[in-house]
Amino acid sequence: MKSRDRLRIAIQKSGRLADPARDLLARAGLSFRESRDRLFCYGESLPIDLLLVRDDDIPGLIAEGVCDLGVVGRNVLDEQAEERRARGQGDAFRELRTLGFGRCRLSLAVPQDWDWRGPDMLAGKRIATSYPQLLGRWLRARDIDAEPVVLSGSVEIAPRLGQADAVCDLVSTGATLVANQLREVEVIIESEAVLAGPAVDFIDERAELAALLLRRLDGVLRVQGSKLVMFQAPRTALPALMRLLPDAEPPTVMQIDGAASEVALQAVCRQAITWQRLEDMKRAGARGLLVLPVEQMLA
Ligand code: ATP
Ligand code: ZN
């Protein structure tokens, strides 16, 4: 690994992952000298720069050491990892964090008029896909001999064009499949955007920068959707109240001046605090309920 004192993160230049990736980095306190149209953004708040590229190039850029980290779909990362293994190359990148956006699945879909009775039906069939490695691995695990037809785009129209019998493609809502008279029958992998990094640890200044970035990202990912719940209650009501907050971090309990049996309590909750939950808490003895959004958290 060549020595460098700035960290370089590759993200998608344009497409589904581009804006969420930039938002996430911004929330982690990273700012850049803007150049959306060009390839490189210079990091201003920290020595962390951005490279704007095609998502398919990201694993390779990490493998070559051109970039240190990347935001990419697990589908792309896993496909290219399998490809390296098939070529007898060692692991060059790995998934460091899941990022919670870009959710989709790589699925098998067949024409709607097939009477689906299980994966064995695929034996001897042609399956159009942009993910031949992941499809191949799935078929091998089930001992099914099918023929992958590798297409780089417009996979879902292949059956109608007579190029293939079935498809293995990315699905989020399923609307594209339906529009092409296809039915999703098997999920090959569940995917979302991940932060990818090299298989080996950084040895120079980048080690500390990467650790700092990961700590901040963990904070950002943890607070997403979290709420701070504050209320007062008789001490005796606490067990019942905590049962209504199963997703809470261990709460802070404070004594209220001049009221020995009363406490004030605050707890960070991971899930939505619904009106129903607040009403249940009130019935269980909570008073002065306050729910606040959490902006930042540093463990
Ligand atoms: P690029 O020009 O960067 O190669 P692309 O066309 O390959 O762009 P997008 O369509 O923007 O890329 O998809 C990027 C990633 O978004 C996918 O690899 C996948 O991880 C994720 N994604 C989420 N939902 C979907 C979906 N319904 N279809 C395709 N990709 C999806
Ligand atoms: Zn792509």
Structural domains of the chain in order of their starting residue, each with its CATH number: 7-101+193-222 (3.40.190.10), 104-191 (3.40.190.10), 227-293 (3.30.70.120)
The packing angle between helices 206-223 and 18-27, to 10°, is 100
Per-residue pLDDT tens over the stretch 35-55 = 766 799 999 999 999 999 999
Buried b (16+ CB within 10 A) or exposed e, 220-255: bbbbeebbbbbbbbebebbeebeeebeebeebeeee
Query: What pLDDT was estimated at residue 122?
Result: 97
Place of tokens 């398919």: 56
Per-residue pLDDT tens over the stretch 190-205 = 999 999 999 999 988 9
Query: What integer is the mean pLDDT of 77-100?
Result: 97
261 lines ligand 1 (CB under 6 A): no
75 lines ligand 1 (CB under 6 A): yes
C-alpha distances (whole Å) from 39 to each of 10, 33, 52 are 10, 12, 5
Residue 298 pLDDT class (50, 70, 90 cuts): confident
In ligand 1, which atom is closest to the CA atom of 12? 3
**Rounded-to-integer distance, Cα 236 and Cα 255, Å:** 13
Give the mean pLDDT of the chain: 94
Ligand 1, pocket-test mutation among 55, 77, 98, 130, most atoms within 8 A of CB? 55
How would you class 126 by CB atoms within 10 Å of its CB: exposed for 0-12, middle for 13-18, buried for 19 or more? middle
Q: pLDDT higher for 286 or 293?
A: 286
Q: Structure pTM?
A: 0.86
C-alpha distances (whole Å) from 165 to each of 105, 111, 150, 186 are 20, 8, 13, 15
* C-beta of residue 130 within 8 angstroms of C-beta of residue 153: yes
73 lines ligand 1 (CB under 6 A): yes
First to last CA, the chain: 31
Q: pLDDT higher for 258 or 146?
A: 146
C-alpha distances (whole Å) from 95 to each of 31, 76, 204, 258 are 24, 11, 20, 53
Query: What integer is the mean pLDDT of 260-282?
Result: 92
Query: What pLDDT was estimated at residue 247?
Result: 86
Ligand sitting nearest the alpha carbon of 102: 1
Strands 104-111, 7-12: pairing kind:
unpaired
Q: What is the DSSP letter of 294?
A: -
- Token pair listed for 40: 């490189």
**Rounded-to-integer distance, Cα 144 and Cα 141, Å:** 8
Query: What integer is the mean pLDDT of 256-261?
Result: 88
For the chain, give the percent of residues with pLDDT over 90: 86
User: Distance, CA 15 to ligand 1 centroid (Å)?
Assistant: 7
Query: What integer is the mean pLDDT of 159-169?
Result: 97
The neighbouring-strand residues paired with 40 are 51
